[in-house]
Amino acid sequence: MANDHVIVHGERGCKGKSQTLKPGAYDTSALDDNDFISSVTIPKGWTVTLYEDSKFGGRSKTLTATGDVGDDFDNITSSLTVSNPDKEAVVKVGDTYKDGSGGSITIEQNDVDVDAKSLLKLTQRFPPKFEQVMVLSFTMTIDQPL
């Protein structure tokens, strides 16, 4: 399964008319058709939120796994958002002392298998704005410790 995009399908069981979607927000005009989505193919760790109405309004449903959207959301999606977790987080603090007497600290996130549901929180509905909550598992390297 491709892991860099989501696919929405017009029939249950990930069949029928389909549209490939990169991470982003898609209002009704950006979708191939209104109210056509019945199932979604979702890469591991990604999140898709469906909205009943355009402009990300009405009822919503968040999906994190491939499958049918469910009886309660079959053929009613008019807008949606696609989010992928950013697994690369590198923070570098270094070169504080130009004379070389200091050191540098590198904090690098390991490839952690995080629960996608804990990564993103919708803080604003329109335009959709997500707050990323991360639990960092990192290694710290100190060059030239004082």
* Of residues 22 and 55, the one with the C-beta less far from Ca ion: 55
Q: Interface with Ca ion includes 79 (CB under 5 A)?
A: no
Q: What is the DSSP string of 50-85?
A: EEEEGGGEEEEEEE-SSEE--GGGTT---EEEEE--
Binding mask 86-125 for Ca ion (x = CB under 5 A): ----------------------------------------
Which own/partner contact pairs does 71-76 have at CB distance under 8 Å and 24+ positions apart?
74/12, 74/38, 75/35, 75/36, 75/37, 75/38, 76/35, 76/52
Choosing from 18, 66, 78, 81, the residue that interacts with Ca ion (CB under 5 A) is 78
Query: Token pair for residue 146?
Result: 């004082």
**Phi, psi dihedral angles at 123 (to 5 degrees):** -105, -15
Tell me whether residue 4 or residue 35 sits nearer to Ca ion (CB atom).
35
69, 76, 80, 119: which one binds Ca ion (CB under 5 A): 76
Nearest approach, Cβ of 51 to Ca ion (angstroms)? 8
If one asks whether residue 38 binds Ca ion (CB under 5 A), the answer comes out as: no
Positions in the binding site for Ca ion (CB under 5 A): 35, 76, 78
